[in-house]
Structure 1
Amino acid sequence: MSGSATARRRGRGAQPEGPRATFRQLLPFLFEHKRTLIVVAVLSVIGAATSLVQPLLVGQVIEAVQSDTGIGILVWLLVGFVIVSSVISGFQHYLLQRTGTAVVYSSRRKLIDRILHLPTSEFDARRTGDLVSRVGTDTTLLYAVLTQGLADAVGSAVLFLGALIAMLVIDPILLLLIVVVIGISVAVVVLLSGRIRTASTAQQEKVGELASGVERAVGSIRTIRASGATERETTAVSGLASDAYGIGVRIAKISSMVVPVSGIALQLSLLVVLGVGGFRVAAGAITIASLISFIMFLFLLVMPLATTFGAITSVNQALGALGRIQEVLDLPTESQDDEKIAASLPRETAAADAPAIEFRDVRFHYPANVVAARQAAAKEARTLLADAHLESAEDATPAVQDHEVLRGVSFAVPQGSRVALVGPSGAGKSTILSLIERFYDPTGGSIRL
């Protein structure tokens, strides 16, 4: 494909920012598994409690060693809490993985049910590959919401607050310095999280376009081969893959700035604690046992932050994908307004000689999204033929009509009869058959069956 054609196609693919979901729209997917999530929350609280006890026991062991008293019971208690914490963590991990898979499964079922009940006009306006990508790749991102730290947020909050209180009791001055360092890291993550969500939405849009391009090329492979257009289509679809790759790299760059933040916060906090804490031990303000306990609580304080930072990244990526999922789930189904339509029509008693099909002053105008999709397809066809030097870009494909196709059409088809529709191209013959099959609803009048 020539460079100008590639530029035209990529320009056509440039779209405004896609649909964005809110965290409230994510909650129904999670509440379907609220019992399991409650169990996970309880386990995370118990795990947090066992983790908070360990630094206190270590401090008591050190003090017992310094005072030359027995430490047997303390050591066994410490080992017991470590084992309990590990077992709880493993079982909690299993529950989260299973629930994450269940969330993906339920979201896919909802999408499949909604897609297969959409009006035919929606399939005319949307590419099949894009709908397939929403069922596949978009729903997969919901899995990370549960497995990347959001579900055990309760336990993380307990761990964070417990460590914060313990550190406040041990040494308020050291804690103040730690809060300053951590506060800066939190501000950086919040600043970057919005950019991650926007880039993730754009990436999923590009993946949808890529799936559509592959689906179109594979479905038309015989025509492509017969036209000698294999290389041209390969270049076009590869261009979509390149665009998705570019956005993926941008997400990786943003995420790479988020991931080190927790590590930097931990290292700076540790250096502050070792430096200032060592000075305070030398001055007699705190004991060595208290300093070691403080350092252990510091790790417990930073661990929930690291989990939270990961959860922010995964949730923002999931919300970008959820926007595309929710866009389809919010579309009205084919029969959603049937009751309203039926209620607005006058009730009639069918006569013995009533016609099998009757059109009464039917008017029809193709939906705007269908017209736009057909015009885009016609423009693409003209461009491809012009690139192949088969036709001029203006004459290769006729323009798509965007005016009213049927204007006050009325006729009756008697039962047991055959009726032929005769007329020139564009007169509305196919449209009438589509209305009888109810691929579309009339924009005016009524059709009686």
Structure 2
Amino acid sequence: MSGTDGWNGPREVLRTLRGHRRGVSAAIGLTLLALVLALAQPLVVKDVIQAAGDGSPFGGAVLVLVALFLAQAAVQAAGRYVMVRTGESVVLGVRLALVDRLLRLPLRTLDRHRTGDLISRTGTDTTALRLLVAEGFTGAVTGSLGVLGVAALMLWLDWVLFLAVLVMVVLGGSLLATVLRRIEGASLRAQSATGAMTADLERALVALRTVRASRAEGRETARIGGQARAAYTSGVRVGKLDAVVAPAVELSVHGSFLAVLLIGGARAASGGSVADLAAFLLYMLYLVEPIGVVFQAFSSMQQGAGALRRIREVLDLPGEGEEKGKGDGAAPGASSRASVNGAAPLLEFRNVHFGYRADEPVLRGVSFAVPRRGQVALVGRSGAGKSTVFALAERFYDPDSGAVLFGGQDVRGLARDAHRARIGFVEQHSPVLHGTLRENLLYAAPEADERELRRAVELAQLGEVVSRLPRGLETHTGEQGAALSGGERQRVAIARALLARPELLLLDEPTAHLDAENEAALRAVIRETARRCALLVIAHRISTVREADLIVVLDAGRVTHAGSHDELLVTSASYRALAPG
């Protein structure tokens, strides 16, 4: 969904409230009960005035009035609490749905959106829903019923005075209607500008070291400030339009009150019923709240509609496996191990074509195989397609044509979770999540025991690092692993992958951040791992490439040569140019 295509505000509000009907109904019911208790009070006041005029006792009526007043206050308080709790429950439900959806979106979809803007929709936009539920939908329902109830009683008491009130309410409502049509658009622009500001701030903070090294703080502040000013301008416009709501209410209510005083006072002076006029004026006072609630509710709903539209744009995006024609062939969570062809290579690319954009192919008919044991290395210039091969092997993307096979089966026929459970992936930048070192190591295998954890630490040559840290495995790694060096983060990523005991381990530049001593230790780990499972390695260093059982040379998205290190030095000029001396 984009823009206003297919947008139906009331329908989307009801869709959002699905699953919260009990809470919404309870809030509406309590509010209406409080309204009934309030509407009974002017009738009791009328009886008290008439009894006092006739000299009859009225103590009992006064007690009834006090009881009605206290009961109304209690019920009204309970209704507001239920309303707030329901609003928070709606916000929580939407946030949980957004988080789940964002974490399951296809990478192709995420590539088209800014991370900061998506985060803003989960935070700022969902907060705006609270207004839509508490002051918007619920207020519109209860306020409208309240207005109808008061209007019916006023009409029953005195239809002439009621017509005077109706004229003033229609005038105020007409003014409000012209404003509401413009509030939703202004609110949507304000939410979008806030999302853009969050995205720009996230962009700068992620690359803060580069920003400072480039002395670009002022430029980034100006960029983010521009989005902040756009949000300010849109927010002020919403406020300006919303400011008209209060005068519209005053025009309706105060104008009605003056009209009733003029007409009713003149009639009372000519011998009309003072008790009826007092009751009507009390109903006028009770009319103030529901009219204000209705007017403010429609304003809140228009403001919340912009946020709801942005949220729905994300929730309606298809998740992984939900795209048209790209669903999993197996049921989610189904095991794919039993059907593996033991004679087939563990991983095979067959004439694979792929591009992140339709007009920009990255892989052009790539074919190669990875056996069940041993090490295969991918080499090539930057942009040759090496990282894309890894992305297809992990099924972050599916090929445009050709096939990626795992154990002889097309990966598109395997459940994603079951497929990825058999693969370990060590990224070049080796991300470390905020948390303890233990939590990071157990991330891919949370059920692993202490013995398995210690073994992975030893295999990845992390023992010295763990002993040096102040709290060992319980040490917090800092934001993005700031407490660790680049080489240490890479070894953490390797240990994390090994702990899951994968059948295939994907290593993207595993020695890029290691010194000579640690590189030699890691090569020993790689040799040992290659005897236990298959390794597919992206590497540039000759020391890593030389030990591979098979080296595949990629150039401009094509496999140009394949063979051992010694063979390629003779047969491939491009390999000789790539191999570091």
TM-score, length of structure 2 as denominator length: 0.65
Q: Is 1:236 aligned to residue 223 of structure 2?
A: yes
Q: Is 1:115 aligned to residue 115 of structure 2?
A: no
Q: Is 1:428 aligned to residue 352 of structure 2?
A: no
Residues in 2 aligned to 1:320 and 1:313: alpha-carbon distance in whole angstroms: 12
Q: For 1:46-77, what per-residue CA distance to the aligned partner results, in whole angstroms no more than 9, with x for missing partners?
A: 21211111111111222222222222111111
Residues in 2 aligned to 1:115 and 1:125: alpha-carbon distance in whole angstroms: 13
Q: Is the 8 A contact 1:121 1:367 kept in 2?
A: no
Residues in 1 aligned to 2:139 and 2:253: alpha-carbon distance in whole angstroms: 21
Specify the code of the residue in structure 2 equivalent to 1:184.
Answer: L
Question: Does the C-alpha gap of structure 1 residues 230 and 157 become closer, same or farther in structure 2, counting only changes over 3 Å?
Answer: closer
Q: CA deviation at 1:38?
A: 2.3
Q: What's the counterpart of residue 360 of structure 1? A: 350
Would you say how many aligned residue pairs link Structure 1 and Structure 2? 396
Q: Is 1:86 aligned to residue 73 of structure 2?
A: yes
Q: For 1:414, which of 341, 357, 371 is the aligned residue? A: 371
Q: Is the 8 A contact 2:106 2:396 kept in 1?
A: yes
Specify the code of the residue in structure 2 equivalent to 1:440.
Answer: Y
Structure 1 runs not aligned, ≥5 long? 1-15, 369-401
Higher mean alpha-carbon deviation, 26-35 vs 93-102, is at: 26-35
Q: For 1:73-108, what per-residue CA distance to the aligned partner results, in whole angstroms no more than 9, with x for missing partners?
A: 111111111111011111111111111111111111
Q: What's the counterpart of residue 143 of structure 2? A: 156
Specify the code of the residue in structure 2 equivalent to 1:68.
Answer: G
Specify the code of the residue in structure 2 equivalent to 1:274.
Answer: L
Q: Is 1:448 aligned to residue 405 of structure 2?
A: yes
- Higher gyration radius (CA): 2
Give matches, 1:21-420, under 5 Å.
22-148=9-135, 150-151=137-138, 153-284=140-271, 286-336=272-322, 340=327, 342=329, 350-367=340-357, 402-420=359-377
Q: Secondary structure at the match of 1:31?
A: coil
Residues in 2 aligned to 1:155 and 1:229: alpha-carbon distance in whole angstroms: 53
Q: CA deviation at 1:296?
A: 1.4
Specify the code of the residue in structure 1 equivalent to 2:347.
Answer: I
Q: Secondary structure at the match of 1:354?
A: coil
Residues in 1 aligned to 2:297 and 2:19: alpha-carbon distance in whole angstroms: 20
Q: CA deviation at 1:204?
A: 0.8
Residues in 2 aligned to 1:155 and 1:431: alpha-carbon distance in whole angstroms: 56
Residues in 2 aligned to 1:246 and 1:360: alpha-carbon distance in whole angstroms: 55
Residues in 2 aligned to 1:364 and 1:124: alpha-carbon distance in whole angstroms: 16
Q: Secondary structure at the match of 1:125?
A: coil
Q: Is the 8 A contact 1:142 1:318 kept in 2?
A: yes
Q: What's the counterpart of residue 13 of structure 1? A: none
Residues in 1 aligned to 2:364 and 2:341: alpha-carbon distance in whole angstroms: 27
Q: Secondary structure at the match of 2:254?
A: helix
Q: CA deviation at 1:367?
A: 4.1
Residues in 1 aligned to 2:92 and 2:328: alpha-carbon distance in whole angstroms: 34
Residues in 2 aligned to 1:299 and 1:50: alpha-carbon distance in whole angstroms: 14
Question: Does the C-alpha gap of structure 1 residues 294 and 364 become closer, same or farther in structure 2, counting only changes over 3 Å?
Answer: same
Q: Secondary structure at the match of 2:17?
A: helix
Specify the code of the residue in structure 2 equivalent to 1:365.
Answer: G
Specify the code of the residue in structure 1 equivalent to 2:405.
Answer: R
Question: Does the C-alpha gap of structure 1 residues 413 and 216 become closer, same or farther in structure 2, counting only changes over 3 Å?
Answer: same
Residues in 1 aligned to 2:95 and 2:170: alpha-carbon distance in whole angstroms: 39
Q: For 1:305-329, what per-residue CA distance to the aligned partner results, in whole angstroms no more than 9, with x for missing partners?
A: 2101111111112111011111111
Higher helix share: 1
Q: CA deviation at 1:183?
A: 1.1
Residues in 1 aligned to 2:59 and 2:401: alpha-carbon distance in whole angstroms: 87
Q: Is the 8 A contact 2:140 2:297 kept in 1?
A: no
Aligned-pair Cα RMSD in Å: 2.2
Q: What percent identity do the matched residue pairs reach?
A: 39
Q: What's the counterpart of residue 491 of structure 2? A: none
Residues in 2 aligned to 1:48 and 1:158: alpha-carbon distance in whole angstroms: 9
Higher mean alpha-carbon deviation, 187-196 vs 319-328, is at: 187-196
Structure 2 runs not aligned, ≥5 long? 331-337, 407-581
Q: Secondary structure at the match of 2:111?
A: helix
Q: For 1:154-208, what per-residue CA distance to the aligned partner results, in whole angstroms no more than 9, with x for missing partners?
A: 5434432222122112221221121111012122222221211111111111111
Residues in 2 aligned to 1:183 and 1:17: alpha-carbon distance in whole angstroms: 32
Residues in 2 aligned to 1:154 and 1:248: alpha-carbon distance in whole angstroms: 27
Question: Does the C-alpha gap of structure 1 residues 245 and 21 become closer, same or farther in structure 2, counting only changes over 3 Å?
Answer: farther
Specify the code of the residue in structure 2 equivalent to 1:410.
Answer: S
